[in-house]
Amino acid sequence: MSILTDASVDTISRDETDHLTGDLLEISMGPQHPSTHGVFRMNVTLDGEQVVKLKPVFGYLHRNHEKIAETESYLGCMPYTDRLDYICSITNNWAYALAVETLAGIKVPERAEYLRVITGELTRLQNHAGLIGFLMQDMGASGTPLMYAFREREKVLDLFEALTGARMMCNYMRFGGCRCDLPAGWLDGAKKVVEGFPRFLDEFESLLKTNEILMARTQGVGIVTKAQAINAGLSGPMARASGVDYDLRKVDKYGIYERFSFRVPLGEIGDVYDRYMLRVLEMRESIEILKQAIRDLPEGPIMDPGTKIRGFRPKAGEAYGRIEGPKGELGFYLISDGSPNPYRYRVRPPTLINLTLLEDMCLGHNVADIVIILGSIDIVLGEVDR
């Protein structure tokens, strides 16, 4: 006799089971977890496998960068900026150099501006390549896509090594220009890397763009609307994936960016898939900028002769300088009191502020989705915690 037909057996109606709630489960993701890309913890409250609350915990890599910088000279802070977002040291140098140049009114020579654009865009290429590789890794595509991406990143790092002597801690820029000129044959090498890069992107896209698993895992996950993105101060690829047309290379036109023709890709939905695709498209635009910059690179000095970088004492005042870093708006806010050290040195960390909406993005999704949502934000804990 089946249970359904036996009146003596109490059956539980579906309506009742729907409203049964179990205990909530609190788990601590991190700080030592491969998906957190560093030492970062999320206190997650789960109902079954659904996220009902998520609180990020910061500070594991905190070393009070800003306080240390206040005891250093303006030049002494420069190598220290490498350690913020250690993937993109050159753009960190650029943001700091730009802030000091704004503070002291320094003009940068033409050739140095071109070198900044070339190295800066190469940094963006290797950052985005690394990121999409890691995102695949987070999704469970273990190894292969990441190695494909790292193969390309390696070529860019080799260029950095030849130019600056270091692969990651480049310490390349100075206020008023760049530290060293290109070694012989470097430009040809760079040209080769830039021309070979679209082939990697084509390959990567043909393998993954319409991959069913990728689409199922990323589409409709972690949506941020345009209004939310602006209000929460998201910047860089995170904001543009939500359709916010705000690229500082176009808005502020810092350096010589207005000379190059390039497009700003925008997302429509603002989910993980948009953020992934946006980075692929951004790399293609970076390649366009690089081609133009390498073609037009003029001869000339690479340092402003009027700037004394040792014993540098800007007049009392303050300045906020910002650039479009690979991860978002990287800004430096400097206050000078006329002494050789900055009175106040503030880093506006794009990744910390991009994490503001982490909880909102994760609510209602599964645990496995937290991993890819976090992966799509592109965080580096050296910058989040400072």
Partner 1 sequence: MNLEEIKSQIEANVSGCRLEIIPNGSPSGQHSLLVDVDHGFAVATFLRDGATPRFDFCSNVTGIDWPVKEVSTKTKVKKLVDGVEKEVDEVVKTQTGGYLEAVYHLYSVEQREGPVVLRMRTEDRAERVHVPSLTPIWRSAEFQEREAYDLFGILFDGHPDLRRLLMWEGFEDYPMRRDYVDPDDYEYEPTAHDDVLKRAQAHRPAQEGGL
Q: Note the residues at the interface with partner 1 (CB under 8 A).
A: 58-59, 62, 64, 66-67, 102-105, 228, 230-235, 244, 246, 251, 314-320, 322, 329, 331, 333, 335-336, 344, 346, 348, 352-353, 355-357, 385-386
Cβ-proximal residues to 137 (8 Å cutoff; 6+ apart), any chain: 143, 145, 146
Q: CA–CA separation, 130 vs 125, rounded Å?
A: 9
Tell me whether residue 56 or residue 145 sits nearer to partner 1 (CB atom). Answer: 56
Least Cα distance to 302 among 185, 175, 160, 190 occurs for: 175
Smallest gap from Cβ 311 to partner 1, in A, equals: 18
Nearer to partner 1, 162 or 232 (CB): 232
One-letter amino acid at 96 equals Y
Closer to partner 1 at the Cβ: 119 or 354?
A: 354
* Burial grade of 97 (CB within 10 A; 0-12, 13-18, 19 or more): buried
Confirm if 40 and 381 have CB atoms less than 8 A apart.
yes
Provide, rounded to whole angstroms, the least separation between the CB of residue 176 and partner 1.
14
DSSP 2-32: -TTT-TTSPPPPHHHHHH-----EEEEE-SE
Is residue 329 exposed (0-12), middle (13-18) or buried (19+ Cβ within 10 Å)? buried
Minimum CB distance to partner 1, residue 95 (Å) = 12
Residue 307: closest CA among 97, 53, 137: 97
Which of 167, 226 has the CB closer to partner 1? 226
Residue 158 Cβ, how far from partner 1 at the closest point, in Å? 35
Tokens of 223: 């949506």
Using the structure block, give the residue that is written with the tokens 């040195």: 345
How far is the C-alpha of 271 from the C-alpha of 267, rounded, in Å?
9
Q: Which is nearer to partner 1, 70 or 205 (CB)?
A: 70
Comparison of 150 and 320: residue with beta carbon closer to partner 1: 320
Cα separation, 305 vs 336, whole angstroms: 22
Residue 139 makes CB contacts below 8 A (sequence gap 6+) with: 213, 214, 217, 218, 371, 372, 375
Strand boundaries in 122-238, DSSP class E? 173-174, 177-178
CB of 103 to partner 1, least distance (A): 5
- C-alpha 138/C-alpha 242 separation (Å) is 22
Of the pair 91, 102, the CB lying nearest partner 1 is at 102
| Choice between 226 and 291, CB closer to partner 1 | 226
Question: Least distance in Å: CB of 62 to partner 1?
Answer: 4
Closest CB 266 distance from partner 1, rounded Å: 13
Do 270 and 241 form a contact (C-beta atoms < 8 A)? Answer: yes
Is the CB of 133 or the CB of 267 nearer to partner 1? 267
Measured CA to CA, the distance from residue 297 to residue 319 in angstroms comes to 29
Cα Rg, the chain, nearest whole Å: 24
From the CB of 72, what's the least distance to partner 1, in Å?
15
CB of 47: closest distance to partner 1 in angstroms? 21
